[in-house]
Amino acid sequence: MIKLKHLSKQFESTLAVNDLSLNIEKGELFSFLGPNGAGKTTTIKMMVGLMTLNSGSIHMGGFDIEKEPKKAKAIIGYVPDSAFLYQHLTGMELLLMVGQLYSMDNKSIHQKLEILIERLVMREWLGDRVSGYSQGMKQRVAFASAFLHEPKILIIDEPMVGLDPKTARIIKDMLKELRQSGVTIFISTHNLNVAEELSDRIAIINRGKLLGVGTVESFRTVSGEKENLEERFLRIVEEEEMAKGL
Amino acid sequence: MEIIVSSTIVLGLIFGGYSLFLRGGEFLLRQGELGEVFLDRLFYLGWSIIFYLLILSNLITGFSTFYRSPEVAFLMTLPVDNNQIFRVKFVENLVYSSWALLILGIPLTLAYGGLQGLAPTQYMVVFLAGIIPFLFIATVFAALLLMILVYFSQFVKMRTLFILLGLGFSGLFYLYFSMSQQDTLLGGGLSNFRALGRYLANLSHTPFPFIPSYWLSKLFLDSESLVWVERLFYSALFLTTAAIGWEVISWFSEKIYFQTYQIMEGQGEKTGRKTISRVFKFSWPGLRSPTKALISKDMVQFLRTPQQWVQFLMMGFFIAVYIINLARGKVHFEDLSPFWRSTIYIFNFGFMGFILSALTTRFVYPVISMEGKSLWMLQMSPFSMKRVFIEKFWFAFFVIFTMTEAVALASNFFLGQRLEISVLTSGFLLLTSLALISLSLGLGAVYAQFDEPNPMKISSGYGGIITVVLSLIYVAFSVTSLIIVINLIQGNGSNLYIGGTVGFILILTALYTWLPLKWGFRAVDKYEH
């Protein structure tokens, strides 16, 4: 469903993403782990078409993001790490606008919205302007806007940022349900608990380079012994740094 | 590079303006005593308009400078006196809102001073004791008004306050003009000298002595008309008013700045009890769903941004005053010779070109930048950014062309122009609208500033200056071409020359339309956040 082939991105002298290749199957929940500045957000922005590629290719649901961006974007839902939304619109107007941008008819927008409002507990404040929202409220609206057009692929950059524990639980449950219904989910995070709880597979990236891909179990099991995912993650990153003499 | 280009453009504008005002002034002085009176009067009126515009622009930029700036929010968390924050922001606001108007004011002042025979040292005195306090006083007025408006916005909606302020301003404007009988000359005719004498007597009384533009016009009088004691008096008047203004504004800021800041902070939560605006509910017949969404979003954002709609209304107000003046002079125009009628008609076209330049630079240039950091929502949608760009182009074209065409039709009617000339103007305006909207939108995309929320600051940036200069150059070519075409038509000139002139303006329009749109398309496709 998602195919990244030899993907690279350079910003002046910094190689943000270095020859990255990944293959994610339909209905899989895939977590992308890495320390700050590892290249996670850059990879995601290239995947959703917000950034151009220096080399390589990205296929989303069979559509090349560079050659067929409209078709690819029509099946993607995206939640950024910090949701910048139109400040002067109300949350309701914003979601209505998103539905219309995806050419949904008003009836199905309202039907779908009704479910999302209920599920994400937004009814009380969705009629207020976005300028008055807290970070968590904005994040909930961003989730609703990504779910609204029923995408086949969901890309989420740091899913739990700014969310209170109750909403975080709701989001986790929704992600699990979507995965069961066949939606492919790609999340980028440095919260290892989230990755451990939700993921079918994880990948670790550092300084733009992929350090490993596998199931959570395969990562935790070293020489037949089970290890804490956090310790394993830190060791992999440390070994990579030492190998580079950093 | 940017500094060199900007400085060249600004100096070019100042020098060009100076030459224009100097020649205009010399022409008036050649008309004898009547010309002298008119010259003084024009200087006074020019600075009066600048004074009101300064208050307005200070008021509009003040919203974001004093209340919406993230820097203020950060400074408020530090152990810094709120009054100090206010003072720093006051100076910032003074600079931001004054510099563009000074480009108009400096050449006007230099030319008038030159005509009055001021020595370089006198210029210095006038600048230090006149123009600097003049700008300062306007900023004091605006900051005071802004704090009062924000204070009352806790009881009455900000939009209602602005409407009341606008009505009050319009009322004062009307009272001033009706009491000062500006159109005595037009109403009474020039047939007898008594009417002319009455008009001249009126002119000497109409300046309002309690506003700084009057003091400034007094400071500029030559040494024969103004003794040094009087010059000292007006300089002292400026300096003491500015000093008292500073004390008053400091007292006010100490008392209510933080309170008004908190009122503004709380407004995000207070204002939105409207789930969906009527604009979003409107069916927009014939438009596809994504286009409806884009138009509705742009309109709602415009209507909820006071910096936008207040200034748009003010522009509309000035245009309305212009049309009313033309309507009142309708009877008089019919008595004029064809030469003067054509001259007024050309001035009218030039005025509309100027209005178009102002409208496009102020309202079309910032539209891409104003998407801000929310642009990702459009970039993520299943259509190209080119489509967003094209939608913005047609929306701007529809609104601005309709407005200018309506003004053109009304003004041509009041000027009693022949139908074929009116059609010609409409054609030229169509080309001007196409060229200037493309230019503003295209360069606005090339020089986009997504981190700047204030549309006024966006349009007064580097790209905005280039846009306004290129727009004025186009208008100058357009007006010149129209003069040539009208002269050729009225003098039964060769069709070849008419065709050549029209061909030139068509090619220029094509370049002004195609190149910026091409650059804009390229820019919007490459935005990366």
Residues B248 and B321 in one domain: no
Q: Per the CB < 8 Å rule, is B376 touching A84?
A: yes
Confidence of residue A245 (pLDDT cuts 50, 70, 90): low
Share of chain B above pLDDT 70, in %: 87
Residue of B279, B381, B452, B522 best to disrupt the A interface, most CBs of A under 10 A: B381
A99-155, pLDDT tens digit by residue? 999 989 888 999 999 999 999 999 889 988 898 888 899 999 999 999 999 999 999
Share of chain B above pLDDT 90, in %: 18
Residues B255 and B328 in one domain: no
In chain A, which residues touch B (CB < 8 A)? 45, 48-52, 69-71, 73-74, 76, 78, 80, 84-90, 92-93, 96-98, 100-105, 126-129, 131-133, 145
pLDDT at residue B186 is higher than 50: no
Averaged confidence pLDDT in chain B: 81
Which residues of chain A lie closer than 8 angstroms to B376, CB-CB? 50, 78, 80, 84
> Would you call B526 an interface residue with chain A, using a CB distance cutoff of 8 Å?
yes
Which residues of chain A lie closer than 8 angstroms to B377, CB-CB? 85-86, 98, 101, 145
Q: Where do the domains of chain A lie?
A: 2-86+153-243
pLDDT at residue A241 is higher than 70: yes
Report the pLDDT value the prediction gives residue B182, as an integer from 0 to 100.
Answer: 54
Exposure b/e, B7-28, CB count within 10 A at least 16 = b: eebbeebbeebbeebbeebeeb
Per the domain annotation, does B12 fall within a domain? no
Cross-strand partners of B277: none
Per the domain annotation, does B505 fall within a domain? yes
Topology classification of domain A2-86+153-243: Rossmann fold (3.40.50)
- Separation CA B365–CA B398 (nearest Å): 16
Residue of B297, B307, B384 best to disrupt the A interface, most CBs of A under 10 A: B297
Q: What amino acid is encoded at A219 in this protein?
A: F
Range of the domain at B499: 287-529
Residues B304 and B390 in one domain: yes
Report the pLDDT value the prediction gives residue B444, as an integer from 0 to 100.
Answer: 94
Report the pLDDT value the prediction gives residue B269, as an integer from 0 to 100.
Answer: 47
Token pair, residue B171, equals 């009322």
Residues B248 and B338 in one domain: no
Residues B246 and B322 in one domain: no
HSE, side-chain direction, 13 A CA sphere, residue A173: 8
B253-289, pLDDT tens digit by residue? 998 999 999 888 776 544 445 577 777 877 777 788 8
Do A236 and A66 form a contact (C-beta atoms < 8 A)?
Answer: no
Residue of A70, A79, A86, A108 best to disrupt the B interface, most CBs of B under 10 A: A86
3-class secondary structure per residue, B437-489: HHHHHHHHHHCCCCCCCCHHHHHCCHHHHHHHHHHHHHHHHHHHHHHHHHHHH
Per the domain annotation, does B469 fall within a domain? yes
Residues B239 and B328 in one domain: no
Report the pLDDT value the prediction gives residue B438, as an integer from 0 to 100.
Answer: 96
Residues B300 and B235 in one domain: no
Residues B215 and B101 in one domain: yes
Q: Per the CB < 8 Å rule, is A88 touching B292?
A: no
Give how many domains chain B has, as a whole number. 2
Which residues of chain B lie closer than 8 angstroms to A100, CB-CB? 289-290, 292-293, 296
Of A78, A92, A103, the CB nearest to B290: A103
Report the pLDDT value the prediction gives residue B187, as an integer from 0 to 100.
Answer: 47
Of A49, A90, A131, the CB nearest to B275: A90
Confidence of residue B228 (pLDDT cuts 50, 70, 90): confident
Residues B296 and B242 in one domain: no
Per the domain annotation, does B371 fall within a domain? yes
- Separation CA B120–CA B167 (nearest Å): 43
Nearest-Cα distance to chain B for A212, in Å, is: 28
- Of the listed ranges A17-31, A218-232, B126-140, B350-364, the least confidently predicted one is A218-232
Q: Per the CB < 8 Å rule, is B381 touching A48?
A: no
Number of helices followed by number of strands (H, E) in chain A: 9, 12
Residues B307 and B222 in one domain: no
More confident residue, B249 or B63: B249
B339-378, pLDDT tens digit by residue? 777 777 788 888 888 888 988 998 999 999 999 889 889 9
Q: Per the CB < 8 Å rule, is B290 touching A129?
A: no
More confident residue, A240 or B451: B451
Per the domain annotation, does B120 fall within a domain? yes
Sign, CA dihedral B337-B342-B345-B350, equals negative
pLDDT at residue B206 is higher than 60: no
Residues B49 and B114 in one domain: yes
Residues B433 and B526 in one domain: yes
Per the domain annotation, does B14 fall within a domain? no
> Would you call B529 an interface residue with chain A, using a CB distance cutoff of 8 Å?
yes
